[in-house]
Amino acid sequence: MTSRLVLGIDLGTSNSVGAIHWEDGHWSVVSDAHDKTIQPSVLSFHPNGSVLVASAARKRRLVDPKNTIYSAKRLIGRPFSSRQVQEIIPRLSYRVTEGPAQQVMVSVRNHLLSVSQVSALILQHIEKLADKVAGQHVPQVVVTVPANFNEAQRAATRQAARLAGLDVLRIINEPTAAALAYGHGMDESKTILVYDLGGGTFDVTVLRVSRGIFEVLGTAGDTHLGGDDLDERLTEAMVEAFMQQHHYDLNMNEMAILRLRSVAEKAKCTLSDKESLAVHVRELAYGPGGISLDLEYRATRDRLEGLVADLVERTIGICDEAMTLAQLRTDAVDEIVLVGGMTRMPLVQRSVTSFFSRKPVTSINPDEVVAVGAAIQGASLLGTLPASQGHVPSLLLDVTPRTLAVATVGGFCQILIPRNAQIPTEHTRTFTTGADYQTAVTIRVCQGEHRRFEKNVMLGELRLEGLRPAPRGEVRIAVTFEIDSDGLLKVSARDQDSGEIQSAAMRVVAVDEDNDSAWGTDGQPPLVDEDILGQLPDDEGTRS
């Protein structure tokens, strides 16, 4: 009889990790033929038609940069025109283009892939390694995402897993998974803070753990802050040093920049263990007469820390934000768990220790703990945690990382689900039409904390048609937001006045995150909150 195994996958920006939970209660981290548990999140499309994944692909980043894909997680679920995508494109060696509905597409050789398709190939690689370790097919998975991923990013990740042929039991937040691995089987009640600094994202989550119940008290983060940004700072410093040595601007030499980024990443990791190292890069460029120009650079830990101090300080500010949301003082935290390879950096550890006045836990592997937690959660969902060993099913009580709202008249937005609300959850609010005799409304959904719609991130829109023509304010529309256990948002609308239920599935649209319009893309007037209808002047329901 086939065992009921489950695979936890930490799909990372730089690296991905898988872990299997076995029916006897133990777990193991998946390794490849070379006993490596950390799999680079890299794909390379070889001239012979094959697709290389992980370590084999990473070796081709300098050999064939235009056909080697990396850091795709920073693109997933984002519209092509968004500020974040436009900022990262110049750092990428491969071609990124705009697809239908502003979808981000990757062009390599004769292939045009969505970011979900790219991620699917990485997930499929992890699953195949797990199959070899388990000696059987392990299709059921729990996949982790950054806590501050929005609905579109979560949906795109789930889609990637489905494209890989995986049965997704749950999408859970990375810091929550780490806390689950650390606190699994813990008898005493503790407040745990998870500081998760990876290659492309940063999250911090505060949880209360008590005998199998993991209750998230507050979460904050930045999906555009990680080790890649630290690498870029060191790369820029080496470019400047090369300019001083040879009066040659490497920014005009794409291959040289790619080589330096690779050197910067390795140097950054080395400086976590050593105080300094000599960097010598031969034939980085060629000068007059074809003479080769080399880089000589003395990299020191102090110099690196000076270059990235503001980035690390940003993470501490986000920690403070999470503590405020949790309504706790820093001395209320019992344990601090560090997650992600970047947390090996001494500056990170010192900064965390200084802010919380206590040293973080160093007994866990920061690269593997998220995947292990995902596997444990999967076993809990399948009911395969062995009770005979004292294990209890883990109950996760997570929260939504950002406020969710709809656009209303005057360019404002009305909150339906507040930030830090426990999920799963559902909330309905009643609105009315904003113009006389309109027969359709476009409901625009955003994520963010600002009262003005344009200051938040637009997630998508849905259209409700067939309304009874009537003076503004007479047709009542109930809008419902529902967030499931994966953190995925479902929006529906009902025409209450006619008594007939009309709904539309959420249509995620790719909109610039700096959008400045609270009107629907079809020109329909925005909704009016029923509670404030009587307070609006007569001309507030029409667009001037």
How do residues 401-411 score in pLDDT, each as one tens digit? 889 999 988 88
Give me the chain's average pLDDT, please: 88
pLDDT tens track for 304-344: 999 999 999 999 999 999 999 999 999 999 999 999 999 99
Q: Is the pLDDT of residue 414 over 70?
A: yes
pLDDT band, residue 186 (cuts 50/70/90): confident
pLDDT at 540 over 50: no
What does the pLDDT look like over 247-269, one tens digit per residue? 999 999 999 999 999 999 999 99
Flag whether pLDDT at 194 surpasses 60. yes
Place of tokens 């790719």: 510
What is the per-residue pLDDT across 72-126, written as a single tens digit (0 to 9) for each?
999 999 999 998 999 999 999 999 999 998 899 999 998 999 999 999 999 999 9
The answer to whether 417 and 400 have CB atoms below 8 angstroms apart is yes
C-beta of residue 72 within 8 angstroms of C-beta of residue 115: yes
Domain coordinates in residue numbering, the chain: 6-225+311-399, 227-306, 404-541
Catalytic residues: 10, 73, 174, 196
Q: Please check the confidence at residue 515 and state whether its pLDDT lies above 90.
A: no
For Cα atoms 163, 56, 116, give the angle at the middle one, nearest 5 degrees: 20
Q: How far apart are CA 56 and CA 39, in angstroms?
A: 10
Share of the chain above pLDDT 90, in %: 68
Mean pLDDT throughout 166-171? 95
Task: Give residue-wise pLDDT tens across range 197-212.
Answer: 999 999 999 999 988 8
Strands 104-108 and 68-69: unpaired
Residues 404-541, CATH architecture: Sandwich (2.60)
230 pLDDT higher than 60: yes
pLDDT the model gives residue 520:
41
| Tokens of residue 486, six digits | 């994966």
By mean pLDDT, which of 236-245, 317-326, 333-342, 484-493 is the weakest? 484-493
User: CB–CB of 493/376 below 8 Å?
Assistant: no
CA distance 296 to 294: 7
pLDDT at 316: 98
| pLDDT at 234 (0 to 100) | 97
Architecture of domain 227-306: Alpha-Beta Complex (3.90)
386 has a pLDDT exceeding 80: no
Name the CATH code of domain 6-225+311-399 (choices 3.40.50.11810, 3.20.20.370, 3.90.1300.10, 3.30.420.40): 3.30.420.40
- The neighbouring-strand residues paired with 10 are 17, 144
- What is this structure's pTM? 0.87
